[in-house]
Amino acid sequence: MKTIGLIGGMSWESSAEYYRIINEEVNRRLGGVHSAKVILYSFDFAEIEELQHRGEWEKLTQVIIDAARRLENAGAEVLLICTNTMHKMFDQVQENVKIPMIHIADATAEEIKKKGLKKVGLLGTKFTMEGDFYRKRFEKHGIETIIPSEDEREVIHRIIYDELVVGIIRDESRKKYLEIIENLKQLGAEGMVLGCTEIPLLIKQEHVDIPVFDTTRIHALKAVDFALQK
């Protein structure tokens, strides 16, 4: 079994989900008392969030590169950035480590293609929805991305940072998300990408009548595939 390196703490709520999913899946596949070999580097999210909202992406890139190198030096054999937003600097991080990294959008695109879908809605932080790092990855896989309106993006972003990253789950917020999802369906979305690792805490497949892609779970399971491959 290979050792998985997790760059987490962005937020710890979703990092805990990564850890749970990875260990449960390893145990499901191997049985007995098996669990995953994991090394976690966890940030103080307050420091990350401040830099994000100040637009200091170059500094953030160096911060993530440093964490990746620490995990590599500690013995990790594959790396995951446990947040969608920070995949903004994925390529620069990969260039600075020798071990492979798994891109959350590539892993998600593979699942979308299995469903035969060509057009999906993307929910996430404003950085994710308004950036091109998801759209460009999806385009390479032949998938078109639709994002919510500007006002809807504000709502989604606020709920993530004010509620979900601190573990607050509100029915009222779920209702707002479902209204936005319905609007994206009207624009032609055949599936919905939960492109923030906290959103699956609020929205699950049972809430939506089109395929939902839980990027946290998809990413974590892809790490298990890598760790257990012969």
**Residue 110 to residue 121: CA distance in whole angstroms:** 16
Of the chain, the end-to-end C-alpha distance in Å amounts to 8
Token look-up 């709520």 returns 13
Decide if 213 contacts 103 (C-beta within 8 A).
no
CA dist list (Å): 18 to 6, 7, 221, 230:
8, 10, 9, 22
Q: Can you name the residues that pair with 191 across neighbouring β-strands?
A: 120
Half-sphere exposure of 215 (CA within 13 A, CB side): 30
Q: Encode 44-65: b = buried (16+ Cβ within 10 Å), e = exposed.
A: ebeebeeebeeeeeeebbebbb
Please identify every residue annotated as catalytic: 83, 196
* 62: helix, strand or coil: helix
What is the number of other CB atoms lying within 10 angstroms of the CB of residue 166?
Answer: 12
Distance of alpha carbon 120 from the chain centroid: 16
Token look-up 């390893």 returns 26
